[in-house]
Structure 1
């Protein structure tokens, strides 16, 4: 074991180091959210493929982001955290360049996957690099700053991404990544050049990692392409299903017998970890999925520009960050089950509230539910994290936080496609239901078709255009109703999660916690709170 000691950074070097680490961390998280506002633009520019095809680049990006977590820990122990950080951002800049130059989806997808993998490697490393430079009595302050850096991109990335798409073009999202990523790599390397590290000889579970990649990749491919290629009627998707069904039990059996597993399944034997992680994973699956679906449908269904659609989400920032700060103190004083239950019920109320909007022009009306959504987003991660990590300590606690974060990010990718599948299935149902109400087919005394046609005639519509207009109106209204269904179903599931948290053990308030134990707890929380 080679240990090389070096002085910590002081003065302007310390502050520059903080700024660069924050910038790099925000860059990765920002790209995870801002691309969602660009998806219709990307689909149209990649040969005019369907918007659902553009979604593949986001879901595959998030799967790569999740898979990089276990690899990051091993690479840091073998080569040193700052060296891996620098190399990852160089790879990030290169992947961004490939994304910006891609002319077809089949070139864009691999570049986007590489971008996610390079970014995912940096997520667990940045926090450890930051804390090594803080004295012990200021480490809690460093963690607080890191928490703000983590939450900010999730609330503003939609708006900035929409502005880039409308004003500059979607490719500039990736062009702008290049100088920022290179600057982060160069400045970090210059500040820490020659810095030694404590080499760790932890084995890497290569077989478990490959099996995990096969499971996540095959499931995500099935979800991505199911709607467009008729699910199991497609031979390729049939083979993907078989591959997932074979790889999943093999992965579980292998991990249970592995000393250093890629994903420690044994942690789920702890009741609080199992329940807390389930609520985090399912909650984030629904949250990421519904927000991604919402911003895309505002553009595709209601004709919003990317910037206008992204502005719908801007009110979230007003309450999200201050509530996140307050929740750290509340979870120390109160039972995390109570806070989690209130939060999940609040989420359910907001989803139900939005689910009853049916006015295509309700941009101003959506402000208040989005403001409350920011409040509950800020209070979502902290209590569930405290609940999941209760009873764990030391390295086991950090490992559990890393695994829960990885599973949550992968679930976010699944959620984007699952919510799209739900809307895709519900739209024809509502379209048929609406069509049945025209022409007296459902109520003989109520001829809505004649009333609608008369109004269009008086508005100057030619007779031959009325049927086409009627079809467009029915299609749009069916889409709005299907979108509402996704919000309502999400609300009901959140109510179920609110009840599930009470099956966990109570988290009693901490009495005079030691600094080191409190820092470990907060480090683990910050890892799990990364959107």
Structure 2
């Protein structure tokens, strides 16, 4: 392959991976628009995000199997076409559940765009430049979800929300054409003698049932709804049998035996927490900015952009430090510390917080998560045999996506509970005998009277305005609590590094990481 064709292929597969990752968050700033346009609640509309994440979680661990079974070239190009077609159908959706369906199928196609792309990039770089390959792909892994809201905000405000999906169509078509002419099969192709359909079905049903319980539980009062009970039982049974089955058979679709490695197990938990932080924070921030602070979609998206740019340097620095032999544990600690500080600052948000202050705070989030991207994968595979590395890295990637999927669902439930609790607390202080309440009501009443309303109408409007203030404050306090809880989760997870500190070797940073 000529240098031009090689560079074009590298650009194509990284672009495809970034396109897939952008779609994990590009819809975040458009949820209110989708909700109004499609006549759905915000809770139902959040399925547009979670259905995509569920599909990613299901497909990523079986990508290695599908690549071997179908052939890497066929599977990759087919996935690009599927992703592109579903992007078109998402934009055409006339109701929320049609949109959710095509988002799920889009997520199934997107799984290969992430996993196979990294394998291709590593193959195209010589061994002495594998650090460059790692940094390049790391930029895509982190920057994709982070710039999604910026791009989504610009498109939503200047055009309409379907265009956040239509934009994938020309890019996907060009990527498919480029790969058709440039992408080839690997030099050594493995074969699949037997398909583990049982494992695939158990994983899909178990994860899908569990995610539905987490997403719909709060809305339908948890176990008072019979279908929530049935789905909970289904999730427990399917996932338990899945684990036992995968440990029992010779050729499992997901090789869970690699989890006997303590470093992989700990890294997988930390990656789950990191995924939870990455996707939940990029979900919570746009909602707060738009619903409570009154920012436009474009303004909301721009909040995240400076941090995303600065984080690129964090990715490059962490990759270089690993190559020089620095233990990934030190970089992981630094990343956790920065993200915890970000959440502490965000937990102090008020209705008067400026865009500049939020943008500055988001830089700590971006750099912190950037420092975690490459070192956690290095830690995960540091004690695995060469033949176990692909499966270990795939499991680690699955945990990141799973953390994001669970995080959004869990925090939606947490927010609903905290809003109700704060509303009760605030209303308990608003009484007829409270001087501040009376003063505020009088002020509001006088304002409306000055606008020409009669005394009774002015008093009703004043009471309604007080209620609106209570609602806004209740929501703000609940989001403050959510950021504080997110930071606390990171604090509680950090000591897990002590379990593997003595096992991590300096060579961890030099391992070639494959998500195949």
How many equivalent residue pairs? Answer: 507
- For 1:211 and 1:193, the matched residues in 2 are separated by 32
Deviation at 1:479, TM superposition (A): 0.4
Q: Runs of 5+ in structure 1 lacking a partner? A: 1-8
Contact 1:335 1:506 in 2 (8 A): no
Which position in structure 2 is the counterpart of 1:428? Answer: 420
1:45-71: CA deviation from partner (whole Å, max 9, x where unpaired): 22x111111111211111101211233
Which position in structure 2 is the counterpart of 1:456? Answer: 444
Which position in structure 2 is the counterpart of 1:522? Answer: 512
- For 1:334 and 1:286, the matched residues in 2 are separated by 25
* Segment drifting more, 129-138 vs 169-178: 129-138
Contact 1:320 1:375 in 2 (8 A): yes
Q: Secondary structure at the match of 2:251?
A: coil
Which of 326, 329, 332 is 1:337 aligned to?
329
* Segment drifting more, 379-388 vs 472-481: 379-388
- For 1:404 and 1:52, the matched residues in 2 are separated by 29
Q: Secondary structure at the match of 1:227?
A: coil
- For 1:390 and 1:499, the matched residues in 2 are separated by 19
Which position in structure 2 is the counterpart of 1:62? Answer: 53
1:241-261: CA deviation from partner (whole Å, max 9, x where unpaired): 121122122112111102222
Contact 1:223 1:414 in 2 (8 A): yes
Q: Secondary structure at the match of 2:293?
A: coil
Contact 1:290 1:486 in 2 (8 A): no
Contact 2:290 2:296 in 1 (8 A): yes
The answer to whether structure 1 residue 347 and structure 2 residue 343 are counterparts is no
Which position in structure 2 is the counterpart of 1:478? Answer: 474
- For 2:134 and 2:277, the matched residues in 1 are separated by 28
- For 2:285 and 2:194, the matched residues in 1 are separated by 43
Q: Secondary structure at the match of 1:120?
A: helix
Which position in structure 2 is the counterpart of 1:145? Answer: 136
Deviation at 1:265, TM superposition (A): 2.6
1:111-138: CA deviation from partner (whole Å, max 9, x where unpaired): 1111000011222111222333334444
- For 1:206 and 1:195, the matched residues in 2 are separated by 25
The answer to whether structure 1 residue 388 and structure 2 residue 380 are counterparts is yes
1:301-323: CA deviation from partner (whole Å, max 9, x where unpaired): 33322222222222211321101
1:417-437: CA deviation from partner (whole Å, max 9, x where unpaired): 111111100011111111111
**Structure 2 vs 1, CA of residues 13 and 464 (structure 1 numbering), >3 Å: closer, same or farther?**
same
Q: Runs of 5+ in structure 2 lacking a partner? A: 450-457
Deviation at 1:190, TM superposition (A): 1.7
- For 2:193 and 2:397, the matched residues in 1 are separated by 21
- RMSD (CA atoms): 2.2
**Structure 2 vs 1, CA of residues 73 and 431 (structure 1 numbering), >3 Å: closer, same or farther?**
same
**Structure 2 vs 1, CA of residues 221 and 165 (structure 1 numbering), >3 Å: closer, same or farther?**
same
Which position in structure 2 is the counterpart of 1:370? Answer: 362
Deviation at 1:297, TM superposition (A): 3.2
- For 2:163 and 2:315, the matched residues in 1 are separated by 31
Question: In the TM superposition, what are the counterparts of 1:102-251 in structure 2 within 5 Å?
Answer: 102-192=93-183, 198-201=189-192, 203-251=194-242
**Structure 2 vs 1, CA of residues 136 and 152 (structure 1 numbering), >3 Å: closer, same or farther?**
same
Which position in structure 2 is the counterpart of 1:4? Answer: none
**Structure 2 vs 1, CA of residues 80 and 343 (structure 1 numbering), >3 Å: closer, same or farther?**
same
Contact 2:276 2:403 in 1 (8 A): yes
Deviation at 1:523, TM superposition (A): 2.2
Q: Secondary structure at the match of 2:431?
A: coil
The answer to whether structure 1 residue 491 and structure 2 residue 487 are counterparts is yes
The answer to whether structure 1 residue 269 and structure 2 residue 260 are counterparts is yes
Contact 2:347 2:484 in 1 (8 A): yes
TM-score by length of 2: 0.92
- For 1:134 and 1:494, the matched residues in 2 are separated by 35
Which position in structure 2 is the counterpart of 1:11? Answer: 3
**Structure 2 vs 1, CA of residues 195 and 124 (structure 1 numbering), >3 Å: closer, same or farther?**
closer
TM-score by length of 1: 0.90
The answer to whether structure 1 residue 506 and structure 2 residue 496 are counterparts is no
1:347-375: CA deviation from partner (whole Å, max 9, x where unpaired): 21210111012234432221221111111
